[in-house]
Each structure stands twice: as C-alpha cells, then as structure tokens.
Amino acid sequence: MKNLLTRSITAGALLIAVCANSSAFAQLNAAAEQWPSKTITMISPFAAGTTSDVVARIFGQGLSRVFNVPVIVDNRVGASGNIGMAHFAKAAPDGYTLAMGTITTNAINHALFSKLPFALSDFYALGVVGITPNLLVVPANSSIKTVGDLVQMAKDKPGKLTFGSAGNGTTGQLAGELIKVRTGVDMLHAPYKDATRALTDLAAGEIDFMFYHPAAVMALIQGGRIRPIAVSSSTRSSAAPDVIPVDQQGISDFDLAAWWALYAPAAISPELKRRLREATQTVLADPQVIQNLVGRGFESKPLRGDEIDSYLAKEVDKWADIVKRAGARVD
C-alpha cells in the first residue's frame, strides 16, 4: 500500500511538472508569436552624434519599419563603450532590448582590458551592419601632407606630436599606436570622452592628427577645417577615393577598418534569434537604409548565419594580435 501511494504521489508530481513545463513553453511560444508588441530599445554605447549613434539610428528606423513598432536609441556612454554593453548584458532576453555593438566594445576591449563586466558569450550577433576604414586627418593649416611627413616630424620632435582618439581602445588609438610601433617614433596619445570634442580640438590645432570614420569627419573636411592625408584600409575608400592608403605611403601591412554589429542577449529564445536575424537581413536590404549608410561612407557586409559568427570571431583574434603588437593596455 505504501509503495502504491508513493508511486501515485511520484506520478502525480511528474504530471504536475509536465503540465507546468507545457504551460511555460506555451507561454513562451505565445510571447514569441505576439512579439514585438511594444517599443524596442537599442542601446548605443557611445554618445549622441557619434558614428555609432548615427548607425544605430539609421538601422533603428529600418527595424521600426519592419516590425511596425517604435525603436528608440538609448545612449549609455562611458569607459570606451563598456558601460553601455555592461548594461545590455543585464537586459531581459525578451527581444525588446538590442545593442549596436562595435569593433571596440565587442573585439578590442576584450584584449585591452584585463577584466570586463560582461563576456562576449553574453551576446548573440544578429548581423554586421556596416564597415568603414578610418581617415587620417590633420588640421587644415598643418604642414603635414603625407604619412611620410608625419613620421619625419615625429622623428624630428620626439614625444611632441599628439594624436587624438574617441577614447582608449578605439581603432583611432590603435591605428596611432601601430604607426609608433612600425616606425619607432615617439608620439603622445590624447584620449577624449567622445570624438566630437577630439575633432573640435583637431580643427583648432590643439592636437596634430587623428584617425576617425569618414561619416564623422566629412563635414569638417568639406568645410575646410581639417584635411585627410591617408586611409587606414589597404584599398581606397569609396567615401574618399582620392585619399591614399597608409600602407601605400611607406607603412606596409596596415589594414584597419571599423565595424558595427547588432546584438541581442544570448539567452533569447531560438525563435526570436531566427526572427531577429531575418529582420536584420531585411533592414540591410532596405534601399533607404543602404542609401543612408553608403552616403556616410559605410560599406555593407552581407553575411548570413554562421558567416556572421565566423567573421566576428576572426575579428576578435585579429584585434587581440594588434593590441599585443601595439603594446596597448588600459588597466
């Protein structure tokens, strides 16, 4: 009798557990089917007006058209993008919080910082939104006309030339550090809290040069306040086709480009992963989005499925090597 009662209790508990799980799965499926039914927040880990912010807003507008719900950009700024991504790592995995990660937040920082409040495994990549090289720009009245001029001036004035960046760990910093390593010159790095302040000081002649994205510098170039002397990619950029690459001006194997990728929390359901990746591809094929990105100097990277993960994994390894060779550390 006791064994029969025990078996009955066990069977009953199992039935309750099965029913509970079935109910939970049903609720998850129902939530996935109804998603999205409210505003989606896209975290941008850099300040309003920066290239990252521009990319997030262009893509967010496209995503809003796909899902017919508002998509707002939430700028969570500081610590080379780490504050924003740390906040994102704690987001509920319900598909209502996404992040526009960057080469800095999702590749470089993992080699530059000894400890971060998040891991790459916390995020699921939905797609590579855009890629762009950096332009090496100088004040309009600078005597520096070529990369050779810059290197020679640095040799003539050791420790005097200053290059700015949008912060420690950015491609702008590492590009400058790589020039130092390759040529043996001594130059000072001036990290700013954001690129806008750095570009303002560059135009005023407070710093000597800077690497930054075409989207952010073209207005200053066209306004005659700064001047491009090189591009960081191995080939010319469609945004500035007349500007010669660094590695064609005496510093070989110099191929540095920045990228932006859309991420969701890694813990979202398989169904939401599928729907979000499909939506990302739809947005990247949107003529209006393409026009807005290409018009600002971005190049597309139409990757799908495992290609996305493979590309980003290779980028993490590539930038870890660059950080090591440049001897750059933040902590």
Query: Over the chain, what is the mean pLDDT?
Result: 90
Task: Name all domains of the chain by residue range, CATH numbers in brackets.
Answer: 35-131+259-326 (3.40.190.150), 135-248 (3.40.190.10)
List CB contacts of 250: < 8 A, sequence separation 6 or more.
Answer: 147, 148, 151
Question: How many whole angstroms separate alpha carbon 134 and alpha carbon 325?
Answer: 19
> Bridge-partner residues for 35, per DSSP?
none
Q: Has residue 6 got a pLDDT over 60?
A: no
The residue length of the chain stands at: 331
List CB contacts of 151: < 8 A, sequence separation 6 or more.
Answer: 179, 183, 185, 250, 251
More confident residue, 249 or 305: 249
> Bridge-partner residues for 263, per DSSP?
99, 125
Mean pLDDT across 167-185: 90
Give residue 137's identity as a one-letter amino acid code. Answer: V
Residue 31 is predicted with a pLDDT of: 57
More confident residue, 79 or 31: 79
pLDDT digits (tens, 9 = 90+) for 70-81: 999 999 998 889
